[in-house]
Structure 1
Amino acid sequence: MQVLKNGLEGLKDGAEFDLVVIGAGGAGLSAAVFAAIDGAKVLVVERTEFVGGTTAWSAGTTWVPGTHHAAKVNPSDTLANVTTYLNHAVGTQAPAALRDAFLKYGAEAVAKIEAQTPVRFRPYPKHPDYISDLPGSTLNGRALEPVPFDGRLLGELFPLLRPPIPEFTVLGGMMVDRTDINHLLAMTKSWPSFKHSVSILWRHLRDRLSHARGTRLVMGNALVGHLLHALSKQGTATLALKTSVDALERDDKGRVVAVRLSSATGKARVLAKHGVVLASGGFNRDPVLRAEKLPGIPAEWCPAAPGHTGEAQALARGLGAVEGQGAQSPAFWAPVSLRQRADGSTAVFPHFVMDRAKPGMITVNQAGARFVNESTSYHLFALGMQAAQQAVPAYLVADAKALRQYGMGMVRPGGKGLAPFLTDGYLTEGASLDALAHKLGISAEGLAQAVADNNAFAQTGVDTQFQRGVTAYQQNIGDTAAGGRNPNLGAMSEGPYYAVKLYPGDIGAAQGLQTNEHAQVLNAKGQAIDGLYAVGNDMNSIMGGVYPAPGITIGPGLVFAHAAARHALAGSTLLGSNP
């Protein structure tokens, strides 16, 4: 693979490629890999200095039902079950034909990339669908995770991989996933946990002798590492960083055949013999579209990577492309907390699973009252914040025991080192609930009642207000080891009490360009714009703005990247005549 680290320096004007991919996130890299392993000459254009996009900051979970991995943990699952589940969860909020195509070709996409590249996945032992009380849902087998990746395999390409969010690492750049965290917390209580913890700690100490951060990559960094490694093995691939797309050009038949690019080191017009794939990440950093689609939600609350400015989508709309309609929401959401870093930047921390669903914690609005099931999915939680009264910001509240056990956002478990968080206001402490309410400026009576109700529910195991802990998904992100009647409920009785402010943060675009089952971009008449494809968050979500399971952005991104590459190259001497 040829890498142009400083824009277009070294790329000839008029250079010809079989496929041009705009964006080097998970979906864009996948499209490039699928095309390159079939022999295509591929150019990947990335506007930032890093590869990976938001995928590199994510958990890397890849939801693709029906793969050969599923049989290892859930052999009784069927695509018919998945269809039933998605029909109930998504319904008419997105075209069923696209869901059918996703399910039809999902297993093939995963099998191909694993058979022909070093990319590897494994099934989660237990990772329930998010709306697990719906027919057709399951506890495992559909969600895959990338196996940990050794960043040293990338050699000089390793610094090009977008580093993880610092607050998601420990000890100066050591990545950890949920399995690692559980082992680290139990390393003095269990021999297997001790061995696992010592192994990753020793690896990290060795890494820091020669690298700026740990090279044992997990979650989204691992997935991007796998994809970049796979692409680097392809001599027909070129990666251009720090490069923007200025125009898409069509021939006299209306087919997209060329792309005009610019960078600090020059401009170039490149030919795209078999098409252009848009994978630029969606609209979330476009100030105009953001104001239109996400009113009242500042960009500062968005925890996604910085590259998705919406410019590529705007170029497509200029060619007649249209956006999908009818979704539950134009974006996917998570509650986030904010903290200013020492360098002046803002850390935006998404509260996915590690705290808010745990016993001994509740979330209240500015009246001190609960307004949402704290153990629901992060998407529904953040939508609930926006729908409720006086819930932006909301307050995640815990007693001292829960804080020690689970941490709160950027505050690590253990209850140590709280002073900096208290000093800068990220964490608020009160010797009593009344004192905490006073510091937060919320109703003391409301908070006292909310805690009293929670404590009563913890005794019975039944939350009569919001039915917390009634589904398999909710129970899975609770704490069964806490010993309560309900893994999501626990008494709050040990002072002092703590709170962290929460805001609704958009974690990615759900509304994008309307496409067909081949990922071809469609115009207002439903006709394909020849030579133009969209994948990832540039493609209108097949889930219709619903978040039915973990990894429902990355999974379809991978599968439709395969579909786009296959269709674009169909009929060429590379693939023959069968799409």
Structure 2
Amino acid sequence: MRPDSLPDDIDLLVLGAGAAGLTAALVGTLSGLRVLLCEASQQVGGTTATSAGTVWVPGNTPGREAGYGDTVAAAERYLQALAGADTDGARSAFLARAPEAFDFLLAEGGIPFVPAALHPDYLEAPGAARSGRAMAPPPFDGRLLGRDFARVRAPLPSFMVLGSMMVGKDDVQRLLRRYASLRDFLYAARLAGRWAVDRLRYPRGTRLVMGNALVARLLHANLARGTAVRYGVRASSLLRAQGRVCGAQFVLPDGTQARVRAHRGVVLATGGFGQGAAWRRRLLGRLADIRSLVFEGNQGDGLALAGELGGAVETAHHAPAAFWQPVSVMPQQRGREALFPHLAMDRGKPGLIAVLPDGRRFVNEGASYHHFVEAMIAADPSGRTPAWLICTEGFVRRYGLGAIRPGTRSLDRHVRSGYLLREASVAALARRAGIDADALDATLRSYNAHARQGEDPAFGKGHTVLSRFNGDAGHTPNPGLAPIEQGPFCAMQVWAADAASGAGLRTDAHARVLDAHGTPIEGLYACGNDMASVMGSAYPGPGITLGPAMTFGYVAARHAAQAGG
């Protein structure tokens, strides 16, 4: 068989090669099925490849073995408090099967995760966890993929240093301290040396972290175990016989058609509707035109394919239909708008506030990215009003801001490009940004008076568990608060953006797609962003898209393997 041809007779067909699809394919292969993984683009990873790669897995074994004490029962209480009753059983299935799924991936697939010693849930409610519930992928050596390393979608350029070297949160801190100790100097030197050698053979550094590491490790595991992977092929329709989905019709890169029969069924993992214009208008309504961090290839293919067979899209419990992140807009790169997601590295630090154009604060700046944008949308339901991050030049040099990294000595080029505004006075800064100057002055006076005492009675920055975590642990008396009073003063504009789908196909506890009557469409599964989020409209913690995505990729493949032809 040619490497670019499609086998016409297999057991399980998986459409989409993000974390969900790669997991479903790997578990299917490990379960003894003949699996074909088809990706419409030329690279694997989708939105996962540019994500932090964190997975939210209550009661996971690595966390328990590390002594963090998290339980599924505690997570169930937490989700009940945030999202209400579990109406379709999918959430209960996630809680019950997630630890099993990740145990299987480690034991059978060699896919490890490291539990976080401190990575708190995003909201304070009964059952919330501070440690162990979130896990991260360890670094992966991309050289193990050989020529297939080029098949891994690159991370955001702003998440790399030296133009092409990936670094994680821990790496950044040690690089900043590279002259503080011999240990950190040698660590930084090893990273730089590895990158320099890599660039002799590869287009970017091969030491992968975060979502890139997760995608690359899953691809490597699939290839090592014989999963058939094909690129540039898009399914145009699903095949159905005797009431059961049994394959798909494809359009190949040369425009020809091909048919693949899959005896155990089809798994939809095409990444959700995020970049599909018609789907955005239908599911996001007035927010359809906001910016998006979703992979451009995620056009809603899975939802459309299932819809042709009566698959139902769940929207009733998903308001909004997406999950959010604030982004700043960097100078144009190759004629395209470049977005930087403000996740946790700057907003929560002491000496920064966020205001709307009216000059008033509107949120705890140390809250999660999703809840930060929720507050923006509450202020303007169209999502078109930006917020401004206000701080001093000293803050930017110390902590960084957006794509400006900590320790940057000169901010001049960022000021010249317009990415950062800098002025000697608050009044001048307000005029440049179009912010109500009197209101901003009043806001800063009130904020500063309380910040000197380590207090924020207005929004509680530095008082909630998460905002303390996102602050500076070495700053006292409050890790999230410091006065903003010694200029020059700086401002950066941030906008609302969607980063993942909440609405998607209705599924049951086995990840089978349901029709409008709640009846499973036999042989058709959905996972990842093609599947409606089990969190409903809640955003409880870090990794609540990838944790369920991989869990239900596992669930779908195991059910297909056990169901028979």
Q: Is structure 2 residue 297 aligned with structure 1 residue 291?
A: no
Bigger mean CA deviation after superposition, 196-205 or 517-526: 196-205
- The counterpart of 1:55, out of the listed 48, 54, 65, is 48
CA contact (8 A) 1:26 1:558 kept: yes
Deviations 1:311-352 (A, max 9, x none): 221121121111222224200001111123341122111100
Tell me the SS of whatever aligns to 2:313.
coil
Q: Tell me how far 1:147 sits from its aligned partner.
A: 0.9
Q: Is structure 2 residue 261 aligned with structure 1 residue 271?
A: yes
The amino acid across from 1:330 in the alignment is A
Q: TM-score, normalised by structure 2?
A: 0.96
Structure 1 residue runs of 5 or longer lacking an equivalent are 574-579
CA distance in structure 1 between the aligned counterparts of 2:357 and 2:477, rounded to whole angstroms: 29
Tell me the SS of whatever aligns to 2:163.
coil
Q: Tell me how far 1:372 sits from its aligned partner.
A: 1.2
Aligned identity (percent) is: 42
Tell me the SS of whatever aligns to 2:343.
coil
Bigger mean CA deviation after superposition, 433-442 or 260-269: 260-269
Aligned pairs (5 A) from 1:80-479: 80-92=73-85, 95=87, 97-131=89-123, 133-235=124-226, 237-251=227-241, 253-265=242-254, 266-297=256-287, 301-324=291-314, 325-389=316-380, 392-479=385-472
CA contact (8 A) 1:335 1:504 kept: yes
Q: Is structure 2 residue 560 aligned with structure 1 residue 568?
A: yes
Tell me the SS of whatever aligns to 2:250.
strand
CA distance in structure 1 between the aligned counterparts of 2:403 and 2:341, rounded to whole angstroms: 10
The amino acid across from 1:239 in the alignment is V
CA distance in structure 2 between the aligned counterparts of 1:192 and 1:123, rounded to whole angstroms: 24
Tell me the SS of whatever aligns to 1:521.
strand
CA distance in structure 1 between the aligned counterparts of 2:346 and 2:190, rounded to whole angstroms: 26
CA contact (8 A) 1:3 1:238 kept: no
CA distance in structure 1 between the aligned counterparts of 2:175 and 2:249, rounded to whole angstroms: 50
Q: Tell me how far 1:73 sits from its aligned partner.
A: 3.5
CA contact (8 A) 1:245 1:312 kept: no
- The counterpart of 1:31, out of the listed 24, 34, 42, is 24
In the alignment, what sits opposite 1:548?
540
In the alignment, what sits opposite 1:499?
491
Q: Tell me how far 1:75 sits from its aligned partner.
A: 4.1
CA contact (8 A) 1:520 1:529 kept: yes
CA contact (8 A) 1:207 1:213 kept: yes
Distance 1:172-1:65 versus aligned 2 partners, 3 A rule = same
Bigger mean CA deviation after superposition, 171-180 or 383-392: 383-392
CA distance in structure 2 between the aligned counterparts of 1:72 and 1:91, rounded to whole angstroms: 30
Measured on the aligned residues, the alpha-carbon RMSD in Å equals: 1.7
Q: Tell me how far 1:531 sits from its aligned partner.
A: 0.6
CA distance in structure 1 between the aligned counterparts of 2:528 and 2:67, rounded to whole angstroms: 27
CA contact (8 A) 1:385 1:391 kept: no
Q: Tell me how far 1:171 sits from its aligned partner.
A: 0.5
Q: Tell me how far 1:240 sits from its aligned partner.
A: 1.5
CA distance in structure 1 between the aligned counterparts of 2:214 and 2:285, rounded to whole angstroms: 33
Aligned pairs (5 A) from 1:474-553: 474-482=467-475, 484-553=476-545
Distance 1:563-1:207 versus aligned 2 partners, 3 A rule = same
CA distance in structure 2 between the aligned counterparts of 1:391 and 1:499, rounded to whole angstroms: 18
CA contact (8 A) 2:384 2:496 kept: no
CA contact (8 A) 2:283 2:503 kept: no
Deviations 1:429-465 (A, max 9, x none): 1111111001011111111112112211211222111
In the alignment, what sits opposite 2:6?
11
The amino acid across from 1:467 in the alignment is G
In the alignment, what sits opposite 1:576?
none
Deviations 1:38-72 (A, max 9, x none): 12111111111110111110000011121210124
CA distance in structure 1 between the aligned counterparts of 2:483 and 2:52, rounded to whole angstroms: 30
Tell me the SS of whatever aligns to 2:338.
strand
Deviations 1:540-571 (A, max 9, x none): 00001311011011011111111100111114
The amino acid across from 2:519 in the alignment is Q
Distance 1:269-1:51 versus aligned 2 partners, 3 A rule = same
Q: Tell me how far 1:264 sits from its aligned partner.
A: 2.4
CA contact (8 A) 1:46 1:243 kept: yes
Deviations 1:389-439 (A, max 9, x none): 497111111111211111110111224342332222111111111110010
Tell me the SS of whatever aligns to 1:273.
strand
Tell me the SS of whatever aligns to 1:275.
strand
Tell me the SS of whatever aligns to 1:555.
helix
Bigger mean CA deviation after superposition, 277-286 or 314-323: 314-323
Bigger mean CA deviation after superposition, 310-319 or 340-349: 340-349
CA distance in structure 2 between the aligned counterparts of 1:336 and 1:294, rounded to whole angstroms: 18
CA distance in structure 1 between the aligned counterparts of 2:58 and 2:414, rounded to whole angstroms: 41
CA distance in structure 1 between the aligned counterparts of 2:331 and 2:356, rounded to whole angstroms: 23
CA distance in structure 2 between the aligned counterparts of 1:472 and 1:191, rounded to whole angstroms: 33
CA distance in structure 2 between the aligned counterparts of 1:96 and 1:83, rounded to whole angstroms: 15
Q: TM-score, normalised by structure 1?
A: 0.94
Q: Tell me how far 1:528 sits from its aligned partner.
A: 0.3
CA contact (8 A) 2:303 2:313 kept: no
The amino acid across from 2:481 in the alignment is L
CA contact (8 A) 1:329 1:546 kept: no
Tell me the SS of whatever aligns to 1:413.
coil
Tell me the SS of whatever aligns to 1:333.
strand
CA distance in structure 2 between the aligned counterparts of 1:76 and 1:240, rounded to whole angstroms: 42
CA contact (8 A) 2:46 2:297 kept: yes
The amino acid across from 1:522 in the alignment is L
CA contact (8 A) 1:351 1:378 kept: yes
Distance 1:95-1:3 versus aligned 2 partners, 3 A rule = farther
CA distance in structure 2 between the aligned counterparts of 1:72 and 1:460, rounded to whole angstroms: 40
Structure 2 residue runs of 5 or longer lacking an equivalent are none
CA contact (8 A) 2:447 2:483 kept: yes
In the alignment, what sits opposite 1:577?
none
The amino acid across from 1:61 in the alignment is T
Bigger mean CA deviation after superposition, 447-456 or 152-161: 447-456
